[in-house]
């Protein structure tokens, strides 16, 4: 068990890293952040920020010598970085787990190998793979195997000809062709598993997207998405964590198709859809990340309120002038007494960039949902 005031390491300086820093410092830990951006939002509030690349061995050695344990806020950190650090200090999640989650082909292969439900797919490594692909996968979505997120690096395709053109636009990078599913909606579940095997699952969130980016999540006070699907999602997510021997906070995204669950993606970290836990749960996803990393007992994750979380993207900074960013009128949001505003402190607003979120709380989901939709309209967000 690693106790305060030990120093913990965070690879990544974005908003997920920022909330980890806050959670760790509240528990009495010090935090060292490694991120190449000298103005990273997590680095600015950390006890120490090393501005260096994720494969800088001098910087990594400095972290290994200073930190009692190290984790990451996103899966784009090279798995080799985690493997190097793990020679000297506890690192969670493991490099092996990260390697699965950061490459779509490896992730799909893991799901297939262990019998977890997933959409039909094919690995696309060459133009001949495209020409030989089964027509049953059309219409489909071609996704780059690495570094695609928030709808980036993917395109809808209707046949092999369109797939070949898209593959060439992706410069023949390895891809996955996934059959397009007729979604009822999407769910996600965040869990935390500690080294002893104990697991705590947060309530399931129902997610709604716009242009491939999460727009809002809906969570009921008594366990999120109701009924059997919530129970099944928790069972699948726990089995995934067990199969990976996972330690830390893990996010599992699901498609719901004809009332059945299909695993979409895995994220070896806290998740955007889990931000509601900051305000609606007894323990939030970031504190759980700290607890699992340090070998502490996991906190209780019961939701004391129903919640609707709404993302705030950089687009609203340009609502009045497409050429010049200006601060939105936060007074319009702060006028709602049940609304909790979170801004990430990023130095520059850009369209599509996650700049913050707000969460509306209530005893049942109906009133928070109405308030959240009214508030998002007041701040200049389009109807969803």
DSSP 9-38: EEE--SHHHHHHHHHHHHTT-EEEEE-S-T
CB distance 376 to 368 below 8 Å: no
CATH code for the domain defined by 120-179: 3.30.1490.20
Q: Using one digit for the tens of pLDDT, what is the confidence trace for 76-117?
A: 999 999 999 999 999 999 999 999 999 999 999 999 999 999
Bridge partners of 193, per DSSP, are 199, 248
Q: What is the C-alpha to C-alpha distance for residues 354 and 258, in angstroms, rounded to an integer?
A: 31
Residue 223 pLDDT level (bands cut at 50, 70, 90): very low
Q: What pLDDT does residue 96 have?
A: 96
Same fold, 120-179 and 185-378: no
- For the chain, the structural domain boundaries read 7-91, 120-179, 185-378
Q: What confidence category does residue 383 fall into, taking pLDDT thresholds of 50, 70 and 90?
A: confident
Superfamily of domain 185-378: ATP-grasp fold, B domain (3.30.470.20)
Pairing of β 121-124 and β 175-179: antiparallel
Confidence of residue 151 (pLDDT cuts 50, 70, 90): low
CATH topology of domain 7-91: Rossmann fold (3.40.50)
- As a dihedral over the C-alpha atoms of residue 368, residue 373, residue 377, residue 381, rounded to 10 degrees, the angle is 110
Closest CA to 97 of 132, 129, 133, 72: 72
Rounded Cα distance, 47 and 75, in Å: 23
What is the per-residue pLDDT across 22-73, written as a single tens digit (0 to 9) for each?
A: 999 999 999 999 999 999 999 999 999 999 999 999 999 999 999 999 999 9
**Local structure of 42: helix, strand or coil:** coil
Q: From CA 246, how far away is CA 95, in angstroms rounded?
A: 11
- State how far Cα 22 lies from the chain centre: 18
Q: How many helices (H) and strands (E) does the chain have?
A: 12, 17
Strand bridging mode 48-50 / 30-34 = parallel
């Amino acid at each position: 068990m690693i106790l305060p005031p030990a120093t913990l390491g965070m690879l990544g300086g974005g908003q997920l890293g920022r909330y980890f820093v806050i959670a760790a410092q509240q528990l009495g830990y010090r935090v060292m952040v490694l991120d190449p951006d000298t103005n990273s939002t997590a680095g600015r509030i950390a006890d120490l920020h090393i501005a260096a690349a994720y494969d800088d061995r001098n910087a990594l050695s400095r972290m290994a010598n200073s930190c009692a344990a190290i984790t990451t806020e996103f899966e784009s950190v090279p798995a080799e970085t985690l493997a190097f650090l793990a020679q000297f200090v506890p690192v969670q999640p493991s490099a092996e787990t990260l390697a699965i989650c950061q490459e779509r082909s490896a992730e799909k292969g893991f799901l297939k190998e262990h019998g977890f439900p997933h959409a039909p797919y094919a690995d696309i490594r060459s133009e001949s793979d495209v020409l030989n692909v089964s027509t049953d996968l059309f219409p489909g979505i071609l996704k780059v195997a690495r570094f695609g997120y928030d709808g980036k690096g993917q395109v809808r395709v209707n046949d092999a000809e369109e797939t070949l053109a898209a593959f060439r636009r992706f410069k023949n990078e390895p891809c996955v062709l996934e059959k397009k599913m007729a979604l009822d909606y999407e769910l996600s579940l965040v869990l935390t598993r500690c080294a002893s095997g104990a697991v705590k699952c947060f309530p399931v969130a129902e997610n709604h997207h716009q242009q491939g980016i999460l727009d809002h999540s809906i969570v009921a006070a008594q366990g999120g998405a109701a009924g059997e699907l919530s129970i099944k999602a928790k069972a699948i997510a726990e089995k995934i964590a067990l199969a990976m021997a996972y330690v830390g906070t893990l996010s599992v995204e699901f498609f719901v198709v004809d009332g059945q669950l299909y695993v979409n993606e895995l994220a070896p970290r806290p998740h955007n859809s889990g931000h509601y836990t900051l305000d609606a749960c007894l323990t939030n996803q970031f504190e759980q990340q700290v607890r699992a990393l340090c070998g502490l007992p996991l906190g209780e994750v019961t939701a004391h309120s129903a919640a609707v979380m709404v993302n705030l993207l950089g687009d609203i900074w340009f609502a009045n002038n497409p050429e010049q960013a200006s601060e939105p009128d936060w007074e319009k949001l702060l006028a709602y007494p049940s609304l909790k505003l979170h801004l990430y402190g990023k130095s520059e607003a850009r369209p599509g960039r996650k700049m913050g979120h707000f969460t509306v709380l209530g005893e049942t989901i109906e009133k928070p949902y109405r308030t959240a939709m009214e508030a998002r309209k007041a701040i200049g967000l389009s109807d969803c």
